[in-house]
Amino acid sequence: MEADIITRFLDRTQLITVWLSEEQRHPEFQDRKFLRTLADDCLQTAIPEDEKRPQFHHEGQLFGSPIFEYGLLTDLDNYHHAIVWLFRYAATDKKLATCYQCLSDIFTYRNKIIQAFQESRKLCPEIGKNYQTIEKEVDRLQQLALGEKLSENDLAEFRKLLKLLPKVALEYNYLLRLLENCGNTIAINTHNYGEKLQQIHHMLPQEDLSFLEKFKDKNSTHFQKQIQIDLGYFTHGSDLVDKAIAAIRGIVEIEQAERDRQLQETIHKGDREMELLIAAVGVGLAVSQVTSQLIPVISPHESKPVEPNTNSASFIDVALHLSIGTSIAICFYLLSKGLYRWLKQKK
């Protein structure tokens, strides 16, 4: 039996309307199996290529006539949406004409929702790859932080991480925003989808629109929940990067402050050593000066000495004075240094 097949495109939805013949409208031809077979045959006629023809999804009634939907939402990479609507009554065609624009808008919103969800499924593996990179770098950070004292190589690695992680975080947050935008797109178009259903309800208050409502109430809701779950999971990666950057900065600042303190102590210690050395030299010179004045006075020989060689006597006096001054300077330096260390330990 030949059927009158008309194909329309509502956005990316292929709407195939079929007028049932008088014979096909008889009760014996109204069982589900017959109608499903007829719908499959009409779809094959409209889309003869097997690879392009979508698989059966679900069926129902709309405006008093059986309607069949094709296109599995799980096959997002090769998704094609087609509807075969078997017109049993002339009233179905009139009602379609009444709300044709609303139906056209509904399928437009529907396809935008599916496109957004398809995009979100492509984003998730990319975000997951970035998340693994973040975890890897954080693990490396933990390994570096295990040592009690950081080497120069460790500090160099930390500085590399400080340069790398902000770039990773920037790309990661950008991908998260794209995923969030997909969720927002689905939410907005789901709202618009619902408003168009309400308009049809207003125009045809007695009609059962459960066939159209199913996508909004079940599929679109599932899409939004799935994206929220993904965002909830992947948002931890962004927090992890922020905490890692803060931890690295804290470690580097503490280590740098410790090294600056040690350097200051070394400089201070050197200055103190120099002060003690200068003081010791001063004391030695002063003692040499005093001994040079005292030795002739305390000489035990009262009698007139035999006049020695003048140059030799002067050299011996100078050497004697310097030896005494140097010995006292060394003793003063060592005593002062020991006293300084003892006081430092007491503090």
- Please indicate, yes or no, whether residues 143 and 51 belong to a single structural domain of this protein: no
300-323 residue pLDDT tens: 444 445 455 555 555 565 565 556
Instruction: Give yes or no: residues 214 and 281 share one domain.
Output: no
**Domain assignment of residue 306, yes or no:** no
Q: Cα Rg for the chain, rounded, in angstroms? A: 47
* Region at 121 (left for phi over 0; alpha for psi -120 to 50; beta for the rest): alpha
In a domain, 304, yes or no: no
Range of the domain at 270: 264-296+313-346
Question: How many structural domains are present in the chain?
Answer: 3
The answer to whether residues 242 and 140 belong to one domain is: yes
Is 301 inside a domain boundary?
A: no
Residues 170, 114 within the same domain: yes
Neighbouring-strand partners of residue 16: 7, 84
64-89 per-position pLDDT tens digit: 999 999 998 888 778 889 999 999 88
State mean pLDDT over 17-22.
86
Q: CB neighbours of 71 closer than 8 A, spacing ≥ 6?
A: 54, 55, 57, 79, 80, 81, 82
Tell me if 307 is assigned to some domain.
no
* Six-digit token string for 316: 């011996």
**At which residue do the structure tokens 């509807």 appear?**
83
User: What pLDDT digit, counting tens, does each position of 241-289 carry?
Assistant: 777 767 666 666 656 555 566 556 566 555 566 665 666 556 555 655 5
Determine which of 76-90, 160-174, 203-217, 284-298 has the lowest per-residue pLDDT on average: 284-298
Band (102; pLDDT cuts 50, 70, 90): very high
Specify if 337 maps to a domain.
yes
Residues 162 and 237 in one domain: yes
Q: Are strands 56-62 and 65-70 parallel, antiparallel or unpaired?
A: antiparallel
At residue 137, the pLDDT reads 77
pLDDT at 190 over 50: yes
Q: Write out pLDDT tens, residues 118-156.
A: 999 999 999 999 888 888 877 777 776 665 566 667 677
Mark whether 121 and 249 lie in a shared domain: yes
Scan for tokens 């069926």, then name that residue.
59
Same domain, 60 and 114: no
CB burial class (10 A; 0-12, 13-18, 19+) of residue 131?
A: buried
| Contact yes or no for 59/98 (Cβ under 8 A) | no
Same domain, 250 and 109: yes
**Which of the two residues, 74 and 339, has the higher pLDDT score?**
74
Q: Is the pLDDT of residue 187 over 80?
A: yes
- Residue % of the chain over a pLDDT of 70: 64
Domain membership flag for residue 274:
yes
Domain membership of residue 67 (yes or no) is yes
Q: How many CB atoms lie within 10 A of CB 271?
A: 10
User: Does one domain contain both 240 and 119?
Assistant: yes
> In this structure, what token pair is assigned to residue 109?
């919103």
d(CA 239, CA 170): 12
Under 8 Å between Cβ of 155 and 144: no
User: With contact defined as beta carbons under 8 Å apart, do 212 and 197 qualify?
Assistant: yes
Model confidence at 194, in pLDDT bands (50, 70, 90)? very high
Instruction: Answer yes or no: is 302 within a domain.
Output: no
> Given a cut of 50, is residue 103 above it in pLDDT?
yes
Report the distance separating Cα 271 and Cα 340, nearest Å: 13
